[in-house]
Structure 1
């Protein structure tokens, strides 16, 4: 299939596909007239790339998933290198969640202190 058809079927742009190709994530062959031609398997690879990008993976993180698909696996997440990336990414998310939880606790405490201070100030003004 040509790049325009792949873009349409994958729900992306030809520019994005060229970007993926430039970074070695998808493969094409050139037809005699110089057009990029893609195998049907590249559609699955593009879907995998887009799904991983959507949840925060970067291009280097995605490489093991693409390699796993190219090795003939039905999904890109069953190979050891992909599992290692998933574990690392999960650790990153857990660290981020812990940081966010700490920030939330501090903000909650600050808000409660501010409300308590405000209520005390209001009571002092209304009591003769």
Structure 2
């Protein structure tokens, strides 16, 4: 499955944007703006096989990504992992994706729950 977007003549490929986003997630960088700091490294130009781009570009491309293609891609990865017995089988498979704070903190209310204590500055 190939993820696409609605841009007519993109200078930055959709694949490069998706790969960059995955790295931000895997590296637990927490926000698209982190790309401004890490995206300048020479590694990215070699790995993405094209020039690096701004966090604004990353956000704009995400706004026009084809959701169906993205869902199908995630499903294909899930099926492959399941087929190769990488994921445990509990009888029910669930994947939850959250666009905000999906990997923001390890701080929890207590060791037995998933409730976090959030401190806000007012």
TM-score computed with the length of structure 1 as normaliser: 0.29
With a CA cutoff of 8 Å and minimum separation of 6, indicate the structure with the bigger relative contact order: 2
TM-score computed with the length of structure 2 as normaliser: 0.30
Larger radius of gyration: 1
